[in-house]
Amino acid sequence: MRDHADVVVVGAGIMGLSIAYQLAKLGTTNVLVVDKSYLCGGASGRNGGGVRAQWSSEANVRLMQESIRMCQDFASEMKINVWLRQGGYLFLVRDEEKRRSLEASCKVQNECGLPTRMLTPEEARKIVPELDTDGVVATSYNPDDGVVFPWPFVWGFASAAQKRGVEVATFTEVQGIETSGTTITGVHLRTLAKDGGRETGRAFVRTNKVVNACGAWSPEIAKLVGVTLPNHPHRHEICSTEPLKPWLRPLVADLTDGLYFSQSTRGEIVGGIGQTHVPKGVDQRSSFAFLGLYARSLVRACPVLGHVKVLRQWAGCYDLTPDQNPIVGAIDEIEGFFQASGFMGHGFMMAPVMGKRIAEHIVSGKSTPLFDRWNLRRFKEGKLLSESMIIG
């Protein structure tokens, strides 16, 4: 492992690797990415792979417009297939308050140039005839949204970054971040055996810049320099069924209870649902409670799936903030300590464009209105934001 790096990125998930890759593209190739687990061991390898531009805020819509374009070019740029399927997102709502919210979001999206349409339940059934829309009052549909296969998305960024000189060190845990006053001087690391247990070595890497991009673990990294982040992990579970003949084109999401499901290229129905009562802290275990909750909601929305067999179930962690918006960019307390966390479960889809923006921010030293808006200081100043289109 190199003993000096211009930038150390903590977290080899999709966000950290995207930042590292974009840094290298800008000429900053002396970058070290560390992760205490394996590639795809965290949220980046445990999510549903959705990429959508249907959001309620203009900032998120415009970011995802660019991110989806980057997803479309990903296979040719990174030389790896991520099986991007642009079958759209079909959102369902079951009460008048959510209808008004969905209509307002649709208006924002249309103003940004998206072809999103509000549909009646009857019109929604023309897109997915198998839906039971009893109780559904309105839907919205954007045909350009889609789904990718998460693992090659991560592997593609990792491989491309390494080809440009970035070092990616898995099973490497951050033990401490050394500072002189408010300036970072280096990072203490320990390497672990491939089973993540036994310590195999220690190292100190000199650096003045650290990127905190480890999602649900980001508050623990921030504590190493005395910074308190307001985000916290929240377990989110997903399951996959036996493969079926292809029939479901869009990803269907119910904003009332957080249900979502789509069909993979191999035919499985992959989906999840929001859960209120989950263990505190980072917890990636599966539960029977999820299966019951998910099954009831799925069969309500799509009764034909009532007899389909579940083959696999897993869990990962959303990284939640109090105002459902991320924490991004430089912070006031520590020079050179950049944040890229709190993405509420949609960091995966935003990683291509956010990696580019954060890398430019690090190299240039200049902030942007977006990063000022998403800065950590907003929580102290009471300038909280809003985002209504969160699934799960």
Tens of pLDDT, residue by residue over 148-187, are: 999 999 999 999 999 999 999 999 999 999 999 999 999 9
Residue pointed to by tokens 């203490």: 188
The length of the chain in residues reads: 392
**DSSP line for 20-89:** HHHHHHTT---EEEE-SS-TT-SGGGSS--EE----SSHHHHHHHHHHHHHHHHHHHHHT-----B---E
CATH number at residue 94: 3.30.9.10
Domain, as residue range, for 106:
86-146+232-320
* Beta pairing class for 117-119 and 138-142: antiparallel
Instruction: Give how far Cα 304 sits from Cα of 141, 249, 270, Å.
Output: 22, 16, 15
| 254 within a domain of the structure (yes/no) | yes
pLDDT in tens, 296-330: 999 999 999 999 999 999 999 999 999 999 999 99
Predicted confidence band at 15 (pLDDT cuts at 50, 70, 90)? Answer: very high
189 and 177 in one domain?
yes
Task: Kindly state whether residue 96 falls inside one of the protein's structural domains.
Answer: yes
Percent of the chain with pLDDT strictly greater than 90 = 95
Residues 163 and 223 in one domain: yes
| Per-residue pLDDT reduced to its tens digit, 225-250 | 999 999 999 999 999 999 999 999 99
Distance CA 204, CA 63 (A): 36
The pLDDT score that the predictor gives to residue 195 is 74
Residues 110 and 255 in one domain: yes
Statement: residue 392 has pLDDT above 90:
no
Domain check: are 237 and 341 in the same one? no
The predicted model gives 88-114 an average pLDDT of 97
**Domain endpoint, select from 277, 293, 320:** 320
Residues 95 and 243 in one domain: yes
CB-CB contact of 353 with 63 (8 Å): yes
Give the neighbor-by-neighbor strand order of the sheet with 337-341: 167-169, 31-34, 7-10, 210-212, 337-341, 327-330
Largest CA distance in the chain: 64
Is position 261 within any domain?
yes
Q: Are 218 and 15 in contact (CB under 8 A)?
A: no
pLDDT, tens digit, 9 for 90 and up, residues 77-90: 999 999 999 999 99
* 3-state DSSP percent of the chain in helix, strand and coil, to 5: 30, 25, 40
Taking 70 as the threshold, does the pLDDT of residue 196 lie above it? no
Q: Is 334 within the bounds of a domain?
A: yes
Please give the pLDDT value at position 219.
97
Other Cβ atoms within 10 Å of 289 Cβ, number: 12
* Mean pLDDT value of segment 33-52: 95
Q: Are residues 98 and 161 in the same domain?
A: no
Residues 137 and 95 sit within 8 Å (Cβ to Cβ): yes
According to the model, what pLDDT value does residue 194 have?
84
Same structural domain for residues 190 and 221?
yes
Average pLDDT over residues 199-212: 96
Question: What pLDDT score was predicted for residue 59?
Answer: 93
Please give the pLDDT value at position 264: 95
Q: Which amino acid is at 99?
A: R
CATH code, domain carrying 208 = 3.50.50.60
Is 65 among the domain residues?
A: no
DSSP symbols for 159-227: HHHHHTT-EEESSEEEEEEEEETTEEEEEEEEEE-TTS-SEEEEEEEE-S-EEE--GGGHHHHHHTTT-
The Cα 392–Cα 390 span in angstroms is 7
Q: Is the pLDDT of residue 289 over 90?
A: yes
Do 211 and 184 lie in one domain? The reply is yes
Answer whether residue 71 is part of any domain.
Answer: no
Same domain, 254 and 305: yes
Compute the mean pLDDT over every residue in the chain, rounded to the nearest whole number: 96
pLDDT digits (tens, 9 = 90+) for 344-385: 989 999 999 999 999 999 999 998 899 999 999 999 999 999
Whether residue 388 is contained in a domain is answered as no
Task: Identify the pLDDT of residue 367.
Answer: 86
Other CB atoms within 10 A of residue 6 CB: 16
Q: Compute the distance between CA of residue 345 and CA of residue 171 in angstroms, rounded to an integer.
A: 23
216-220-225-229 Cα dihedral, nearest 10 degrees: 50
Residues 236 and 142 in one domain: yes
Indicate if 166 and 128 belong to the same structural domain: no
> Is pLDDT above 80 for 197?
no
With contact defined as beta carbons under 8 Å apart, do 296 and 192 qualify? no
C-alpha of 235 from chain center: 14
Instruction: Give the Cβ contact number of residue 323 at 10 Å.
Output: 17
Separation CA 242–CA 246 (nearest Å) = 12
What one-letter code names the amino acid at 141?
A: Y
Number of domains in the chain: 2
Question: What is the mean pLDDT of the segment spanning 78-106?
Answer: 96
Same domain, 29 and 132: no
